[in-house]
Structure 1
Amino acid sequence: MVVVTTLTLLVAGVASLFMAWSIGAGSSGSTPFAPAVGANAISVMRAGLVVGVLGLFGAILQGANVTEAVGTELIGGVTLTATAAIVALVTAAILVAIGVFAGYPIATAFTVTGAVVGVGLAMGGDPAWPKYTEILTLWVLTPFVGGGIAYGVARTLIGDRLPERALTAALAGVVGAIVANVGFALLGPDGEQASIAEAVSVELGVPGGVGVLAATVAMAALVAAAVYVDIGRDREGAQRRFLLVMGGLVAFSAGGSQVGLAIGPLVPIFSEVGVPLWALLVGGGVGLLAGSWTGAPRMIKAISQDYASMGPRRSISALIPSFAIAQTAVAFGIPVSFNEIIVSAIVGAGYAAGDAGVSRSKMGYTVLAWVASLAGSLALGFGVYSVVRLAL
Structure 2
Amino acid sequence: MVGIEAAATFLVAGMASLFMAWAIGAGSSGSTPFAPAVGANAISVLRAGLIVGILGFLGAVLQGANVTEAVGTELIGGVSLSATAAIVALVVAATLVAVGVFSGYPIATAFTVTGAVVGVGLALGGDPAWAKYAEILALWVLTPFVGGGVAYGTVKLLDWGRLDERRVTAGLAGVVGAVLANVGFAVLGPAGEDGSIAGTVAAAVSLPNAAGIDPGVPAATLGIALLATGLLAADLRRDFAGGQRRFLLVMGGLVAFSAGGSQVGLAIGPLVPLFDGSGVPLLALLVGGGFGLLLGSWTGAPRMIKAIAQDYASMGPRRSIAALIPSFAIAQTAVAFGIPVSFNEIIVSAIVGAGYAAGQAGVSRRKMGYTVLAWVGSLALALGLGFGIFSAVDLIVG
Distance in 1, matches of 2:381 and 2:347, equals 23
Distance in 2, matches of 1:287 and 1:206, equals 43
How far off its partner does 1:214 sit? 0.4
Distance in 2, matches of 1:375 and 1:20, equals 21
Structure 2 residue aligned with 1:279: 284
Q: Does 1:105 align with 2:109?
A: no
The CA deviation string for residues 34-80 of structure 1, in whole angstroms up to 9 with x for no partner, is 00000000000000000000000000000000000000000000000
Q: Does 1:159 align with 2:160?
A: yes
Q: Does 1:198 align with 2:199?
A: yes
Distance in 2, matches of 1:108 and 1:320, equals 21
Distance in 2, matches of 1:340 and 1:368, equals 12
- Show the 5 A alignment for 1:211-360: 211-360=216-365
Q: Give the letter for the 2:146 counterpart.
A: V
* Helix, strand or coil at the partner of 2:192: coil
Structure 2 residue aligned with 1:115: 116
* Helix, strand or coil at the partner of 2:276: helix
How far off its partner does 1:9 sit? 0.7
Moved over 4 A (4+): none
How far off its partner does 1:286 sit? 0.1
The CA deviation string for residues 113-157 of structure 1, in whole angstroms up to 9 with x for no partner, is 000000000000000000000000000000000000000001111
How far off its partner does 1:209 sit? 4.4
Distance in 1, matches of 2:206 and 2:314, equals 49
* Helix, strand or coil at the partner of 2:67: helix
Distance in 1, matches of 2:60 and 2:284, equals 11
How far off its partner does 1:275 sit? 1.1
**Cα RMSD (Å):** 0.8
Distance in 1, matches of 2:180 and 2:365, equals 34
How far off its partner does 1:174 sit? 0.2
Q: Give the letter for the 2:63 counterpart.
A: Q
- Show the 5 A alignment for 1:16-27: 16-27=17-28
Q: Give the letter for the 1:327 counterpart.
A: Q
The CA deviation string for residues 162-202 of structure 1, in whole angstroms up to 9 with x for no partner, is 11011001000000000000000000011110000001111
Distance in 1, matches of 2:165 and 2:214, equals 33
Instruction: Please list every run of 5 or more consecutive structure 1 residues that lacks an aligned counterpart in the other structure.
Output: none
How far off its partner does 1:161 sit? 1.9
The CA deviation string for residues 313-335 of structure 1, in whole angstroms up to 9 with x for no partner, is 00000000000000000000000
Q: Give the letter for the 1:189 counterpart.
A: P
Task: Give the alignment partner of residue 364 of structure 1, picking from 354, 358, 369.
Answer: 369
Distance in 1, matches of 2:207 and 2:73, equals 36
Q: Give the letter for the 2:204 counterpart.
A: E
Q: Does 1:89 align with 2:94?
A: no
Structure 2 residue aligned with 1:127: 128
Structure 2 residue aligned with 1:148: 149
**TM-score normalized by the length of structure 1:** 0.99
Distance in 2, matches of 1:89 and 1:228, equals 46
Distance in 1, matches of 2:214 and 2:113, equals 37
- Show the 5 A alignment for 1:72-83: 72-83=73-84
How far off its partner does 1:273 sit? 2.1
**TM-score normalized by the length of structure 2:** 0.98
Q: Give the letter for the 1:19 counterpart.
A: M
Distance in 1, matches of 2:358 and 2:220, equals 37
How far off its partner does 1:271 sit? 2.2
How far off its partner does 1:158 sit? 2.1
Instruction: Please list every run of 5 or more consecutive structure 2 residues that lacks an aligned counterpart in the other structure.
Output: none
* Helix, strand or coil at the partner of 1:362: helix
Give the total of aligned pairs.
Answer: 392
The CA deviation string for residues 258-280 of structure 1, in whole angstroms up to 9 with x for no partner, is 00000000001012322110000
How far off its partner does 1:205 sit? 2.0
Distance in 2, matches of 1:360 and 1:162, equals 32
Q: Does 1:389 align with 2:390?
A: no
Q: Give the letter for the 1:314 counterpart.
A: R
Change (3 A) 1:10 1:124: same
Distance in 2, matches of 1:362 and 1:162, equals 34
Q: Give the letter for the 1:266 counterpart.
A: L
Distance in 1, matches of 2:277 and 2:384, equals 28
Q: 224-233 or 266-275, which moves further after superposition?
A: 266-275
Distance in 2, matches of 1:191 and 1:137, equals 27
How far off its partner does 1:203 sit? 1.1
Structure 2 residue aligned with 1:6: 7
Q: Does 1:186 align with 2:187?
A: yes
Distance in 2, matches of 1:259 and 1:374, equals 19
Structure 2 residue aligned with 1:137: 138
Structure 1 residue aligned with 2:68: 67
Q: Give the letter for the 1:281 counterpart.
A: L
Q: Give the letter for the 2:326 counterpart.
A: P
- Show the 5 A alignment for 1:44-63: 44-63=45-64
* Helix, strand or coil at the partner of 1:272: coil
Distance in 1, matches of 2:12 and 2:275, equals 12
